[in-house]
């Protein structure tokens, strides 16, 4: 490793995207430095909902137990009649729970709501265990890069200018950040100047604590009050204007007056913890990287909060990027691997943007209903989310230049594959580029039971060898294991799965009996041929192959000198 390569990865922005990038990197032994422009950590709820794919990522990174300890269930919504604001009109679920399955056990988890400031606190606590602290009141104002690294110009405490050297730069500095501009990315899209939203975290007495409360004045606004569960009287309140911009309501006195005059006069406001303003921006970049500089999260895409996709998409950006930077940083992969971050994530962001925009348009149309009508609150396509792609479990990278599937792409070309980047292939067999399914009921020679998602590691590839236990495949199995063992140290682990029994133990392998056949079923192994699946550190399938040559063909796309 070159001397300059030992410099840290500089992460600009200490929101969820930046923190997940940092945690993913330090777990792989990569030094990081995180700077944050704000002088203190924010205390607003912001993005609250966790999608199933995010919960899986938290599990892989060792965060899930802490998340579930603090999170609360998604409450039913209840709409009230105006004027008056006390008579219930309708009670419904904004999203019906989807029952879990063996390959998707995280579905149906009730605890999916946690304020962003508390979530970030969990991430920071885990980073602290690795000796990583956030440098507050420190912003990036400029950077230059060369073939060996990045030289960043930083401003501390509003005035002190210093230079810092980094191996790579990750811009997680949000929609108003500078790194997007510095890499020459264009923020393509639109701003809804006629609309606006004000969100506040408050201590409040009066609203029901067991519902997500909603008041709508047709043609003007929606007001929601959601108990956060942080304290008995903590609510997140949103005033969402349609053809109405409530920007002046960032003043707490005007905010309270608006609620008193338009919702109910009997609520007692005790304390404002934070107030933020958001104008609907629906934008995404045309590029995610330039040389050694990358952008993730809101720096790359902003959109409506309908559908709860923003924070979740940001987390996936970072989880996708980090393992690739780690391999290149260690000298195990060529820099070309980093191009796959943009190739994989841009189509996903584009389709996620389209989905959330469609939800926002339906909400806007609902709110623009003629005055005098009253909302039902459960009208399909308005305040109910029925798009199963919102779970983000269908996101895939089948067109990616670094995935390899011996079974091909089903006759679809690259553009056709990209069109299903977000919605995926529900009900079809998995292929290279898809999320790696879970499977319980794996029993080793000692009788201990585990599942695939407990075996996968966010630091290395997992090579799943599905053994058909036919005599004529034994030599093939040996050659596959030899091919994997020839890879650089600590790049992969091998797991051999048997359909009928625990396979024979070989050096450097873990062996399990797939007692219920769930792993063979989840990965579509239905014929009497050796099947090898390479699962990437981000728990996506990198390859589906049949022999040692296939293993080498895949890793030649990932590693140098294969």
Model confidence band, residue 287 (pLDDT cutoffs 50, 70, 90): very high
- Domain shared by 549 and 464, yes or no: yes
Q: Which of 369-383, 517-531, 534-548 has the highest mean pLDDT?
A: 534-548
What is the token pair recorded at 342? 């943009």
**pLDDT recorded at residue 382:** 47
The reply to whether 527 falls in a domain is yes
- CA pair distance 275, 262, nearest whole angstrom: 19
Express each pLDDT in 288-313 by its tens digit. Answer: 999 999 999 999 998 877 777 889 99
- CA pair distance 495, 471, nearest whole angstrom: 19
The reply to whether 192 falls in a domain is no
- Domain shared by 354 and 411, yes or no: no
Residue that has been written with the tokens 């009900």 in this structure: 427
- Domain shared by 356 and 416, yes or no: no
Please state the rounded mean pLDDT for residues 84-112: 90
**pLDDT recorded at residue 162:** 96
DSSP 121: H
pLDDT at 542 over 90: yes
CA distances from 85 to 64, 270, 305, 427 (A): 38, 20, 25, 44
What is the token pair recorded at 72? 């609360």
Decide which of 251 and 109 is more confident: 251
Whole-angstrom Cα Rg for the chain: 25
Q: What angle do the packed helices 16-26 and 116-128 form, to 10 degrees?
A: 20
Assign residue 511 a region: left if phi > 0, alpha if psi is -120 to 50, beta otherwise? beta
Please state the rounded mean pLDDT for residues 214-238: 92
Express each pLDDT in 25-36 by its tens digit. Answer: 999 999 999 999
**pLDDT recorded at residue 374:** 46
Lowest mean pLDDT among 271-280, 426-435, 551-560: 271-280
The reply to whether 103 falls in a domain is no
The reply to whether 535 falls in a domain is yes
- Domain shared by 43 and 176, yes or no: yes
The reply to whether 38 falls in a domain is yes
pLDDT at 3 over 50: no
**pLDDT recorded at residue 380:** 36
Please state the rounded mean pLDDT for residues 374-387: 50
- CA pair distance 370, 349, nearest whole angstrom: 34
- CA pair distance 337, 387, nearest whole angstrom: 33
Q: What is the mean pLDDT of the chain?
A: 91
Decide which of 479 and 319 is more confident: 319
Residue pair 378/370 in contact (Cβ under 8 Å)? The answer is no
Query: Among 348, 353, 346, 350, which Cα is nearest to 289's?
Result: 346
**Domain stop point among 361, 394, 412:** 361
CA distances from 532 to 389, 431, 432, 529, 537 (A): 28, 12, 11, 10, 16
Residue pair 309/349 in contact (Cβ under 8 Å)? The answer is no
pLDDT at 2 over 50: no
Ordered DSSP codes for 183-209? TT--EEEEE-TT-EEEEEEEEEESS-S
- Reduced to 3 states (helix: H, G, I; strand: E, B; else coil), residue 337 is helix
pLDDT at 336 over 60: yes
Residue that has been written with the tokens 């899209």 in this structure: 189
**pLDDT recorded at residue 383:** 57
**pLDDT recorded at residue 528:** 74
Domain coverage including residue 523: 404-558
pTM confidence score? 0.94
Lowest mean pLDDT among 73-82, 343-352, 438-447, 463-472: 463-472
**pLDDT recorded at residue 477:** 85
The reply to whether 34 falls in a domain is yes
Burial (Cβ within 10 Å: 0-12, 13-18, ≥19) of residue 291: middle
Backbone phi, psi, residue 73, to 5°: -70, 160
- Domain shared by 412 and 525, yes or no: yes
The end-to-end CA distance of the chain, in Å, is: 18
Q: What is the CATH number of the domain that holds 474?
A: 3.40.30.10
Model confidence band, residue 129 (pLDDT cutoffs 50, 70, 90): very high
The reply to whether 120 falls in a domain is yes
- Domain shared by 136 and 39, yes or no: yes
CA distances from 40 to 12, 33, 134, 252, 297 (A): 15, 17, 10, 21, 20
**pLDDT recorded at residue 389:** 85
**pLDDT recorded at residue 366:** 66
**Domain stop point among 303, 331, 361:** 361
- Domain shared by 289 and 154, yes or no: yes
- CA pair distance 270, 56, nearest whole angstrom: 37
The reply to whether 200 falls in a domain is no
Please state the rounded mean pLDDT for residues 240-253: 92
What is the token pair recorded at 160? 């002190």
pLDDT at 124 over 90: yes
Backbone phi, psi, residue 451, to 5°: -140, 165
- Domain shared by 47 and 183, yes or no: yes
Domain count, the chain: 2
pLDDT at 347 over 80: yes
- Domain shared by 449 and 317, yes or no: no
- Domain shared by 424 and 534, yes or no: yes
Q: What is the CATH number of the domain that holds 150?
A: 3.50.50.60
Query: Among 265, 278, 184, which Cα is nearest to 238's?
Result: 278
- Domain shared by 477 and 344, yes or no: no
pLDDT at 375 over 80: no
Decide which of 98 and 39 is more confident: 39
Please state the rounded mean pLDDT for residues 511-535: 93
**pLDDT recorded at residue 81:** 94
What is the token pair recorded at 345? 């994530």
Residue pair 421/347 in contact (Cβ under 8 Å)? The answer is yes
**pLDDT recorded at residue 260:** 96
- Domain shared by 411 and 328, yes or no: no
**Domain stop point among 309, 341, 361:** 361
Model confidence band, residue 178 (pLDDT cutoffs 50, 70, 90): very high
């Amino acid at each position: 490793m070159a001397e300059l390569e030992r410099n840290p990865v500089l992460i600009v922005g200490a929101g969820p995207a930046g923190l997940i990038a940092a945690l993913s990197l330090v777990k792989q032994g990569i030094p990081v430095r995180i700077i944050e422009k704000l002088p203190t950590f924010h205390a607003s709820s912001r993005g609250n909902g966790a999608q199933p794919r995010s919960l899986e990522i938290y599990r892989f990174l060792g965060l899930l137990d802490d998340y579930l300890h603090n999170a609360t269930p998604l409450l039913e919504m209840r709409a009230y009649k105006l004027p008056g604001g006390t008579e219930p009109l309708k009670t419904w679920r904004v999203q019906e729970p989807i029952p879990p399955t063996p390959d998707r056990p995280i579905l149906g988890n009730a605890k999916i709501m946690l304020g962003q400031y508390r979530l970030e606190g969990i991430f920071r606590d885990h980073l602290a265990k690795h000796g990583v602290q956030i440098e507050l009141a420190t912003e990036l104002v400029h950077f230059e890069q060369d073939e060996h690294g990045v030289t960043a110009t930083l401003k501390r405490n509003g005035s002190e200018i210093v230079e810092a050297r980094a191996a790579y730069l990750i811009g997680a500095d949000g929609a108003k950040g500078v790194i997007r501009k510095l890499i020459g990315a264009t923020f393509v899209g639109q701003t809804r100047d006629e609309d606006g939203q004000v969100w506040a975290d408050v201590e409040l007495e009066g609203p029901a604590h067991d519902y997500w409360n909603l008041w709508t004045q047709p043609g003007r606004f929606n007001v929601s009050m959601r108990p956060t569960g942080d304290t008995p009287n903590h609510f997140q309140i949103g005033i969402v204007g349609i053809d109405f911009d409530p920007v002046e309501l960032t003043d707490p006195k005007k905010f309270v007056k608006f609620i008193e005059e338009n919702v109910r006069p009997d609520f007692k406001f005790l304390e404002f913890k934070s107030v933020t303003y958001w104008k609907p921006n629906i934008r995404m970049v045309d590029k995610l990287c330039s040389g050694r500089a990358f952008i993730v999260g809101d720096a790359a895409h902003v959109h409506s909060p309908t559908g709860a996709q923003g924070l979740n998409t940001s987390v996936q950006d970072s989880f996708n990027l980090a393992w690739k930077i780690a391999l290149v940083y260690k000298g195990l992969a060529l820099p070309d691997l980093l191009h796959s971050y943009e190739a994989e994530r841009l189509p996903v962001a584009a389709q996620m943007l389209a989905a959330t925009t469609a939800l926002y348009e339906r909400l806007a149309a609902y709110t623009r209903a003629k005055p005098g009508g009253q909302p039902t609150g459960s009208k399909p396509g308005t305040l109910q989310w029925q798009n199963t792609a919102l779970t983000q479990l269908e996101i895939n990278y089948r067109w990616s230049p670094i995935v390899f599937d011996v079974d091909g792409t089903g006759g679809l070309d690259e553009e056709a594959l990209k069109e299903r980047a977000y919605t995926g292939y529900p009900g079809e067999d998995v292929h290279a580029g898809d999320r790696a399914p879970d499977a319980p009921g794996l029993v080793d020679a000692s009788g201990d039971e585990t599942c695939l998602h407990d075996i996968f590691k966010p630091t290395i590839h997992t090579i799943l060898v599905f053994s058909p236990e036919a005599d004529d495949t034994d030599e093939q199995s040996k050659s596959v294991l030899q091919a994997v063992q020839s890879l650089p140290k600590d790049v992969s682990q091998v797991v051999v799965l048997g359909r009928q029994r625990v396979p024979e133990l070989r050096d450097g392998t873990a062996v399990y009996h797939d007692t219920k056949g769930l792993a063979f079923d989840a990965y579509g192994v239905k014929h009497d041929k050796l099947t090898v699946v390479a699962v990437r550190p981000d728990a996506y399938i990198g390859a589906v192959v049949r022999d040692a040559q296939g293993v080498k063909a895949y890793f030649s796309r990932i590693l140098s000198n294969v």
